[in-house]
Structure 1
């Protein structure tokens, strides 16, 4: 209901804007009458504002259409998701009720089975009981399959949703860019027309209307600045809304996924416990049934000799039944106790595993942050050294500077991102750094998906089996316990192989291909493209040595990377720099001596001027006329 109201209000606002535009066009004839009264300049400003307002409204409608479409699609998706959730909840409740009824029926039949003494009837009842148990297990399996299918559908839906949101953002950016270009073009055209009109009007009344024209230009500039500020504020608001919506959807999806996975694990544990109980009861019944058949055969063969022992056999049978009941009760209690211990140990193991994953991820993030920080510092220093080297070559030595390839020099050992140039790194703004972190997170997710995809390819099953057999010691004891608790199928091998691969430090497709090349016949250092056929594996005795070489090669690449950064300027250039420094120091001392001499010359010139002025003053003094021999006669 709320969504329909929002859509209706939005449509009404759009209709009002369109009506306003039509009304503005209808009044065009009335405005034509007052053209002569307003003047050419003002009329052109009015027409330009009308056209710009119309163009802005049309472009705003184009941009808003993307958001309206996204809101409507998201509302439909949530409604559909709520309906599917209700259907799944009703199905779970129905299955739980039917399972409780079937369990009650199965439990009620045990007493009847214990009272039967005829083997044929007991056999028929046991078959019926087994069929009822199979029905319950089949119902549980169907629910588990439905939950897994629903989880897989949710994963696919999330991928499609991210892709659609990316397309919406691209379309929104395209419309915004188109709107900006159209508005810029329109503003330029309208500004040109306004300038022409004002120039014509200025030629007519240049002296009387100069102040008015300047006021109009100031008003127009203020309007343009205000419009630009409003446009930038609206764009930033739209971007923040899109980011908030994306984060909220991702959090809802993660919560739903965790809840569904928890429900599946609980149902699987309950199913395994029920299977174990049913299997134990079935084995007990089969054993008792075979014992009864053997006794019946013996009794039929020796029926005539054993009539005197019927009472004794009945006593023995009652004793055995009582003992069987005691043992069954004892085993049931032991089973319940062990089940509770198993649940407690499982929960404790999950807590430890969650803590281990948390601290492991925290350490990895800290290591990557420190690595990135040091790498940026070293890149900055290397850039300064290269800039200083270029200045010395071109300005001091007069040589043509041929610097090293910065892309190859600054190439890192871990990811393709490290091959970017240092100049590009220094020009990144703070907003671009945030985008860089998001790109790194997306690339890490893509790398993890590449490793998972390669683990599931049949081409690598042989290499993964060899890796699990020869490098299984790399997996810790906790991971071994978790692998032992998994069911015996192919997923166990995949989980084991994934644990070994992570222990070797393989995080992306390139490192995985290098690991597979190390386990294949040929050069272990090769990191070529993925082979299309089944690779020829090495002998198991050489697997550990190849893996050791693989890990050492990773460490050597890191050492080579840091040594390469530390040797940006070689020893030969350092010696040249030393000689240049000595010569420049000598030249600097010479310049200082010259500056000191110039200052002394200036002081002497100033003293001479003062003496000359004093002498002229003495010569021009009236006292000289009273002397018998004036100084002027001597001079």
Structure 2
């Protein structure tokens, strides 16, 4: 609230005043105060700092704020100490109230118990008395003896109830005595705790006053550095906020594009399926009608030939044949009309689907243009982010170098001035770097060179997981030996002859096996688009995984199990890696996977270029560890020794102060003694004090 009050005071001094003689000015001043108070409450409700109102106008001095904070903390410490001390009394009062409430409840229960006991005893006594009166009427000894036993039992029960009540009251009295002793002990503990807390409060206040004084001194020293770093922090926050907003907008745009693409694909698939269904139905109907038309034509032809053949014989039936002919013509006409209608309907459907296809094509072109525009924006944002990353890197690097120089200067001063030891500067290789680290990509061999090394036996071994696919590799990856790669390539040469032209096979026949295998592998690699050594290792790894999958999959039928026993038709040296019958299927699957893998960079071509940050941690770690742990240990030991030395000096200062105080008291006592001995009243006394002092001295 101090920031709000300061803001209100600043507004009062700069605007209309409440002490003005003008009524309108006083009204404006009150309105401004009300508006400032409402704005301060709104900022507090939103979690903002009320002091931020005046940050744009005037930045308060940190030293003044530190003194105010120190004063507030000291006041709070005094209040907390007072509350801590008074908490004992509050707790004691609470326990006393609780005890009185419990005692009142116990007293009520005792009175109620005594009243119930008295009432019950009175009833029992009246019953016994009535039975005594009735016993005088008994004349039979046995009945009288039974009545006497009953009366004796009831009297004993009455006496036992009274004794039980007396015992309970005695136990309650004993509990009260024990509680009284516990209360006395608790009061003694509270008094001791009160004294201990008072002493602790005095020590805490002294220590806090010293700490706050040191903190105020440090604040004056840090005020200049904080003013320099303030603008830098504001700039970093603004940059981070803008980057977050841009990234959020970009992610929302990409998410909408993906949703539109999914909807477009769904509509395309759905319309395609409906079009195929309708097309198949219409084609089926047309085929049926055409078959009927052909049948009718055949019938018509047959009838016509019969009529011509039997014209002379069946001339008398000319009228009947004419009627039949007219009926057939009408039927043909009707079927022709049906066919024409179906053709018209088919043309309408084709025209409708063409229009829909054209509309979808236009939408696709529009979305493609939007996608290209998005790629352009992505490239722009990537360039901007790279520039920002470079600037922030350089800024942090400069700050790091300054801190390293300061740390080395402090270490040199400690070694040379405090410890008197020679100081040697560490290796500062990272100080020469400017800007983000650039890691050169690893050069790869071509697929033909690797095949030549493997076939001729000059290659080594390699990890199954290539650098590009380390994130997709199996954790239990193993090394691919030279023999494994060679066997896979030999199987590939034997089973992939369809990828090699026949002319080339004729030219390769007179060559040696190794040379022939190398040329065949070059042709196969060209057909499969295998260019670098990573693609070859990926092929070998894929064949090994395919072999493992085939071993884990159970045979589906007896024909497959019998077909797998045809290994005698192929060279048996590589069946332990992959069966020759499985090479074609594995090669087809690998080609699809390689094509899919190479499409990914094209899909990400418009995005930001990924930077290799593998060496960043080493670079910043070297800067952070410029002061080794051994020197930090020396710093800690020196700090501990300086603190002990400071404690010794503080103790000596206190002892000197006490000595001066005792000397001053001794001087005052001597002056009082001298005044007392030289007073005139001593001459009037019969036994002056000087004589008593002389006797005591003797």
Same fold (TM over 0.5): no
Structure with bigger gyration radius = 2
Q: TM-score scaled by structure 1?
A: 0.25
Q: TM-score scaled by structure 2?
A: 0.23
Greater fraction helix: 1
